[in-house]
Structure 1
Amino acid sequence: MGLSFLNIMLLSGMAVIAIPVLLHLLMRRKPVPHQFPAIRFLQARSQIKKRRLKLQHLLLLLVRVLALCILVLAVSRPILRGAGWIVDQEGPVAVACVVDTAPRMLLRQGNRTRIDKVQDVASNLFDKLPPESKIAIVDTGDGGATFSASAVAAENRIKRMATGASSVNVAVAMNDAARLLESSGIERKELYVFTDLSHGGWEQPVQPNWDALHPDINLVFVDVSATHPQDFILDSLQLSAERLTVGSPLNVSVVTRRVGPKSARSVAIEFQDQEGSFVRRGEKPIALEDGEEEEVRFEINGVDPGVHQGRVLIEGGDGLPVDDSIEFTVDVGPPARVLVASPDPVGTTGLIFVEAVAPFPLVSAGRSKFTVTLESFDRLEKASWSDYLSIVLIDPPPLPARTWKMLHEWVSNGGGLVVWLGPSAGKPSEFSSVESESVLGGQIKRVWRSPDRSNYFAPASLDHPVLSAFRRVGDSVPWQDFPVFRHWEFQPTLENSDALSTPALPIASYRNGLPAMFERMLDKGRVVIVTTPISQTANDPQAWNQLATGFEPWPFVMLANEILEHVMETPDSLNIKSGEVARLRLQRHDLPTATVRTPLGDTFPVAIDQNQGAIAVSATRQPGNYQIRSGGQTGGFVKGFSARLPKSATDFSRLNDDELSFMLGDDRRIVHDAESLDRDVMSYRVGAELSGWILFFAAALLALDWWISNKFYAPRDGAEPEARAAEIFAESVQTDEDAGVITPPPVPPARNRDESTPPPLPEGIDSETEHSP
């Protein structure tokens, strides 16, 4: 028997059973999730922590990678080149060393002079030069700039270098050295200037556009100055006169100065005898503080006729011996003969001037500096002019052209002419002529009148030698007490190419602004013109001035003597600066040569100019006394002169920062010893090595890595709460036991992990909380 269905297709209607099932499922209440705020906060904090931790890891990784890269970079020894990237650091170098060889470089400190320091630093520099380098030594004494044959030759020249008067300054020597370096075919060029950076060494600054003019030259200044100098200094020696008359005293003054702590010394004056030994003639003690000055004066009487040489010195050693003595030369002879021409009667018109320059008491005592001969203008041409050193024309009338021509020739040969213009000149057209203008350098124009005593002598400056003597009294000269009522207006010749018409130059003025005195150089001689006379007496109602007739006219006496001494000064000075050419007129035409003995004892011959009877000595760099001899004891002569160092040669006072910037320029490289020079040279030739700085930076990065690691991974507060709770519980138990409280039984320990964890939830139960409606 079998089961069958008649309408088997209708069995598919059983699918309707899915309807209640579907309704059951659809209508079943779904669980509603609930997010607790604390859970939400923890999830947000978790995301923030994750991002922060990721950033910390990246930062720490970056620091470690950078530190390793910096270490590798330091091991590779990078350099920063100063001479370009293509120049071979071992290639040859053209080097020029400019050395200041002034005597102040002998300043001693620590038993070493400045020249010793130059030699040490230069030798160290030469030892480190690459092969085939060229070296030139340029010193301020010779001034020549040439390359030495070898480094050994250059070093030997440095070691044999001597000090002396400078022929060129440091700035000029630098220019010579730069031109020499630029003429070299070597690509790398270096210029080293060895200097004490003193006021004496830097009277002229470096060219402001030096770097633009010499872009290929590496310029380095080597400072060899003394840091704590100690020295006594003799400065500004003054003589009452280079040429004295017999019986006149010799007055010598010198300024002493101290650098360093307070100390005491003695200043002495000595004269040199025929054998060359010095004999002391005076001595005075001094005690000076740092920077203090004191003037020391000596008066020497009884100086015999002839040429005398001596010195003023400070006893005792100090830092710089060359400024401890100053030599001098004086010539003692008969009074200078002066011819004075004045209007008749000469005994009246010329008396005032004669008494001013050769007063009778001094003439009687044999101490007058001048021997005066009075003549009238009519007898002027008949006098033997060759016997006189000076001619004075007081209130001259119009002179014949022949007389002016004679005066022109006489002055040109070395004579000194003084002209005091006055009323005797008459009309300007009659007095002035081509011949007079050739002597005076100008012509008179008109008489200027000031009858109200408002005009007087008023020099604006005391720099001229005629007026320099008034510096001792300064502004206390009472010129207003000696009014000038009338004076000539003198017009100098216009400048042109004619040598005979060179103009006279004003040297002093009146209060009204018009010139009072003029000076004119005429070949070997000079002329001084005063535009008001001194020939009128005090009771003359037509007197032009009261210069010589006022109350106690000592300013006029000084002025008359200074003018006369000035025009008689010969171009050959007995006291010159070291390095200058000494010219002496010997008035000897019968001797061909003379012998010069230097301060060091060396001798050399010099030719005598037979035409002028004079000699010229150029080898005067060594300061001291020079003696000139020719012929024997009979028929020969002995002359001499002294060479003094200029102030700049011994002025070692250091420039301040502002002065250094002005003299050397801004941002100049200055080194102070061989070590700093080595570093500077290495920086220029090889380049500045950066390994030290990079290693320092790498060490800083490693320290930063350690700090960051400790900062990021440091244990947080509350990271072990169970342990901390156990400690607190143990402490509380101990406290309770001490108080007699019964403690609860201990918590049983967990036997294993499974027993310590709760059982899992049944299947079908979600972690979410289900709520029924």
Structure 2
Amino acid sequence: MTLLNPMILYGLGFVLVPVILHFLLRQKPKLLAFPALRLIEERRRQNVRRFRLRHLWLLLLRMLVIGLIVLALTRPALPAANYSLNLFESLILAAIVLLAIGAYLLTLHLWKRRQLPRHEFNYRRTTLRGWTTGVAILLILLCVGWPYQRRIAAEITAPMPTGELDLPVASVFLFDVSLSMGYQQAGQTQLDRAREIAATHLGDLPAGSRVAVTDNANDNPVLFHTTMQSTRARLDALAISPRTLPLDDRLRSALLLQREDRQRTLAEQGEVAEATRTDRYIRRLYIFTDMSRSAWRTSSSRQLARELEELENVHLFLIDVGNEQPQNTGITDLTLSRQRVPDGGHLTVAGTVQATGQSGERVVELYLQDNRGQSVKHGQEQVILEAGMPQRIEFPMLTNLAGPVVHGEIRLAARDPLEMDDVRYFTVEVGPPPRVLIVGPERDEVDAWTLTLVPFDREQNSQIDFETEFVPTSQLASTALGEYGVVCLINVTRLSDDEWYRLGQYVNNGGGLAVFLGSTDLVAVGDGGYNRAQAQEFLPAELHSWQPENEEGWNLVIGNTSHPLFRKLKALESYGTLAILRNEALVYRFWKVIPAAGAAVLTTLTDPEQSPLIVERVHGKGRTLMMTTDVDLKWRRWNNFPTMVNWWAYQVLAEQMMEYLARASDRIFVFESQEDPVLQFEPASADREFLLRRPTLTQSRELLKAQEGTLVFDDAHEPGHYTLTSVGEVQPLVGFSVNPPSEESDLTRVEAEELDTLFGEQRYQVARGIEQLQMSINIADLGREAFPLALLLVVLVFAGEHIVANRFYDADTPITGTDRAAA
């Protein structure tokens, strides 16, 4: 045990005061004139013995009160251990107390039934109280106290510190600066509160202390600051960062600093024997965090706990500045029907809203930026939220979009304590529609597919998702394939090796090829050249056999809906697109194929063999899709795709197939702040220089070197809109948007069990303020302070002394008939 104020122990001398007072103020015997002297003498002797017992207990209690008060004022500190009673010890203690009370009451009941004289009953009752209390205390010491002290002694595995409170401290202040630390309470963010606690604690550190201030916004080395002025300047410079590292990683860097600094300190004592070298510093790590689970990698291994176990001299403190019952409404996700829109095209915007700790109605608004960069409202939706239950909302379709860049956002109409997730940004590119070359034997065999891609002519609708062109099979050899984004082969029965070679080169250079096997003529001409070596270099499957008609038909099986081919279907899942295709689409005839090496089967049928329906293969920079059934109305009994009741679902699949092959769906313009935005350009022969306008309205120069087609922005992490223009030009070339990570909206607090797994049990202290932090430091440096326990004992003993003192001179009960008979 360590005493913070050992000089107060001299106050134990006041324990003698009750003894002196008891002897000085001892009651003098009084002479009473009474005729029955023998009876009076007998009762006098019994009363004297009874009062002696009361004197003894009252004396002991008063001495104990003074002793405990003096002990409490010395502020004793105990080694860190679990000082609470476990379940077994609590049960034994309760059993002893109940047994003592039961024995006392039972004995009194038996004596009352025997109708003892009053003076004898009082004497026995006083004696019984003393013996019952003494035996109970003895049993508690033997059955509870002895096992308790052995358990506590076993938990204290290391000697107590020397208690040198003036020893300098080597501290690392690690701050969580993730976006969730922007949660506001009482007009200040959680980061502001953490900075305030750290600044106050800096003034409490002993002279000669060293401090390093770091955060999880970067992976820079952790170093001690040279002066306290630089430390405070670093504290003032802390800011919320949209891109952070897990606190686990930064804590390892802080541990590395403490390990290397301790080794350096011990090495400087070269003239001292290695076994007797001592560290000149008390070493501490402070983590200022809101305790959000998203800031930790809780699923990682126990590597961090092992490193902390090796550095037993480093004390870890978690300063919890978070709200224990946070309330927040956030937009956690944003979905676009497409990120590249043809001129005059349409766009569907949807989002997911989730409430934490509160329920109610919320209003979500949709804004688009006009040519002047001003946000213009284009709609709003109301949603009723229940805490913890995400709700998906979809805005009316946006039409007649003009580009080349459209910036937009969805935002909550009302703000809340955490503002970073009240808005979510998006950007789409608007440009010419992809050119699709459709190759078939005759025009009437491809009309159904053309109508699927372009439902209306140009005069009836200004929106053209695809610019289609038909070429008969006989003219394929003379067509410049490089001018088209996608080439579709529909019911093509035979191609020469030269034509297969040209198609292979086209795919290898980045083109998209769609092959639809729906002609019965293939049966007559064998494989039509599809299985020849020149074609099999890039085709995703080899033709095996033709499956005759099945009157009932087979359904589609769409397994991996996360594949980019089904991105639009999944985005429109609220309309039942996937369910429609799975339940309404039927295939009566198809070709059985053998997928090539490296090919992926994206869709199958419900026939007994689960035959492939759509197969994909990547070749060079391009890709090929093969559908084993027809897309033509001429052969209606191949499937019911063009005649489905909900034909629009099939149209969505067809459009996505073309966009996927044209790589229009590959271009992404919406990123999260944890990733580096990437834009694709056509390579050029010379270097190109651009200007990037950021959400803060600042600009930076970006260089794309010759023959390179990828521009990576490794410093564009601030949420908002970004626009890229050529130097000297005003018209934007392209743009993108950055959003905060969706997990930052999850304010779920990390549990104690997870912290035990990360750091090890009893390896850390948690504090929610400067007072608790100081208490935690005292526990870590000197042991657990026993002042509250000592004061509790003072209160209990003082209450016992008060009861005994008030009952000391209690009046005897009136004389009963039994007493008169005895007299």
Regarding TM over 0.5, the answer is yes
Q: Distance in 2 between matches of 1:401 and 1:137?
A: 69
Q: Which residue of 1 aligns with 2:190?
A: 114
Q: Which residue of 1 aligns with 2:345?
A: 248
CA 1:56–1:627: 2 relative to 1, 3 Å: same
Q: Which residue of 1 aligns with 2:234?
A: 157
CA 1:162–1:535: 2 relative to 1, 3 Å: same
Q: Distance in 1 between matches of 2:741 and 2:76?
A: 52
1:370 to partner: Cα distance: 0.5
Q: Which residue of 2 aligns with 1:473?
A: 575
1:520 to partner: Cα distance: 3.9
1:318 to partner: Cα distance: 3.8
1:248 to partner: Cα distance: 1.9
1:376 to partner: Cα distance: 4.1
CA contact (8 A) 1:340 1:394 kept: yes
CA 1:663–1:407: 2 relative to 1, 3 Å: farther
1:621 to partner: Cα distance: 0.9
Greater shift, 154-163 or 278-287, is seen at 278-287
Matched, 1:193 2:287: yes
Match of 1:607 among 700, 703, 708: 703
CA contact (8 A) 1:247 1:302 kept: yes
Q: Distance in 1 between matches of 2:455 and 2:814?
A: 118
| Residues 131-280 of structure 1: pairs in structure 2 closer than 5 A | 131-150=207-226, 151-185=228-262, 188-198=282-292, 200-201=294-295, 204-205=298-299, 207=301, 210-215=304-309, 216=312, 217-226=314-323, 233-256=330-353, 260=358, 267-274=365-372, 277-280=373-376
CA 1:511–1:618: 2 relative to 1, 3 Å: same
CA 1:328–1:462: 2 relative to 1, 3 Å: same
SS at match of 2:565: coil
Aligned partner letter, 1:295: I
Aligned partner letter, 1:576: F
Q: Which residue of 2 aligns with 1:86?
A: 161
Q: Distance in 1 between matches of 2:260 and 2:473?
A: 68
Q: Among the aligned pairs, what percent are the same residue?
A: 22
Matched, 1:337 2:431: no
Taking structure 1 as the reference length, the TM-score comes to 0.74
Q: Distance in 1 between matches of 2:296 and 2:751?
A: 12
Q: Distance in 2 between matches of 1:122 and 1:43?
A: 76
Aligned partner letter, 2:346: P
SS at match of 2:793: helix
Q: Distance in 2 between matches of 1:662 and 1:311?
A: 40
CA contact (8 A) 1:398 1:430 kept: yes
| Residues 585-600 of structure 1: pairs in structure 2 closer than 5 A | 585-587=680-682, 589=684, 590-600=686-696
Matched, 1:369 2:465: yes
Q: Distance in 1 between matches of 2:70 and 2:781?
A: 25
1:356 to partner: Cα distance: 1.0
Q: Which residue of 1 aligns with 2:587?
A: 484
Q: Distance in 2 between matches of 1:448 and 1:55?
A: 108
Matched, 1:507 2:507: no
Q: Distance in 2 between matches of 1:409 and 1:204?
A: 49
Q: Distance in 1 between matches of 2:246 and 2:592?
A: 44
Q: Which residue of 2 aligns with 1:649?
A: 744
Q: Distance in 1 between matches of 2:737 and 2:46?
A: 96
Q: Distance in 1 between matches of 2:567 and 2:282?
A: 54
CA 1:324–1:692: 2 relative to 1, 3 Å: closer
Q: Which residue of 2 aligns with 1:385?
A: 481
In structure 1, list runs of 5 or more residues that go unmatched: 1-37, 495-502, 726-773
1:688 to partner: Cα distance: 2.8
1:622 to partner: Cα distance: 0.5
Aligned partner letter, 1:418: A
CA contact (8 A) 1:609 1:615 kept: no
CA 1:56–1:303: 2 relative to 1, 3 Å: closer
| Residues 270-309 of structure 1: pairs in structure 2 closer than 5 A | 270-274=368-372, 277-284=373-380, 286=382, 291=387, 293=391, 295=393, 297-309=395-407
1:603 to partner: Cα distance: 1.7
Q: Distance in 2 between matches of 1:46 and 1:189?
A: 69
1:672 to partner: Cα distance: 2.2
Aligned partner letter, 1:157: R
CA 1:66–1:173: 2 relative to 1, 3 Å: same
CA 1:451–1:304: 2 relative to 1, 3 Å: closer
| Residues 426-465 of structure 1: pairs in structure 2 closer than 5 A | 431-432=530-531, 436-440=535-539, 443-447=542-546, 451-460=550-559, 462-465=561-564
1:108 to partner: Cα distance: 2.1
Taking structure 2 as the reference length, the TM-score comes to 0.70
Q: Which residue of 2 aligns with 1:26?
A: none
1:559 to partner: Cα distance: 1.5
Q: Distance in 2 between matches of 1:514 and 1:197?
A: 51
CA 1:49–1:125: 2 relative to 1, 3 Å: same
Aligned partner letter, 1:477: I
Q: Distance in 1 between matches of 2:170 and 2:497?
A: 67
CA 1:98–1:357: 2 relative to 1, 3 Å: farther
- Which structure shows the bigger proportion of residues in helix conformation? 2
CA contact (8 A) 1:485 1:544 kept: yes
Aligned partner letter, 1:103: L
1:535 to partner: Cα distance: 4.4
Q: Distance in 2 between matches of 1:168 and 1:531?
A: 47
Greater shift, 122-131 or 673-682, is seen at 122-131
Q: Which residue of 2 aligns with 1:3?
A: none
Q: Distance in 2 between matches of 1:99 and 1:224?
A: 11
CA contact (8 A) 1:134 1:147 kept: no
Aligned partner letter, 2:515: V
In structure 2, list runs of 5 or more residues that go unmatched: 1-35, 81-157, 263-278
Pairwise CA RMSD: 4.2
Superposed CA offset, 1:234-258 (max 9, x none): 4433333222222223433344556
Q: Distance in 1 between matches of 2:208 and 2:766?
A: 27
Q: Which residue of 1 aligns with 2:203?
A: 127
CA contact (8 A) 1:572 1:583 kept: no
SS at match of 1:369: coil
Q: Which residue of 2 aligns with 1:770?
A: none
CA contact (8 A) 1:310 1:327 kept: yes
Match of 2:641 among 547, 572, 586: 547
SS at match of 1:374: strand
1:582 to partner: Cα distance: 2.4
CA contact (8 A) 1:432 1:443 kept: yes
Greater shift, 428-437 or 475-484, is seen at 428-437
Match of 2:426 among 328, 347, 351: 328
CA contact (8 A) 1:200 1:647 kept: no
SS at match of 2:587: coil
Q: Distance in 2 between matches of 1:521 and 1:132?
A: 65
1:598 to partner: Cα distance: 1.1
Q: Distance in 1 between matches of 2:364 and 2:351?
A: 13
1:357 to partner: Cα distance: 0.9
1:489 to partner: Cα distance: 4.4
CA contact (8 A) 2:320 2:766 kept: yes
Aligned partner letter, 1:459: I
Aligned partner letter, 2:734: K
CA contact (8 A) 1:205 1:663 kept: no
Superposed CA offset, 1:653-707 (max 9, x none): 5568888889998777433223222222222123332234324424543543454
| Residues 48-59 of structure 1: pairs in structure 2 closer than 5 A | none
Q: Distance in 2 between matches of 1:261 and 1:50?
A: 73
SS at match of 1:462: coil
1:165 to partner: Cα distance: 2.4
Q: Distance in 1 between matches of 2:533 and 2:361?
A: 65
Superposed CA offset, 1:483-528 (max 9, x none): 323434444455xxxxxxxx22333332233443333445544433
Q: Distance in 1 between matches of 2:412 and 2:699?
A: 28
Q: Distance in 1 between matches of 2:548 and 2:224?
A: 72
CA 1:485–1:609: 2 relative to 1, 3 Å: farther
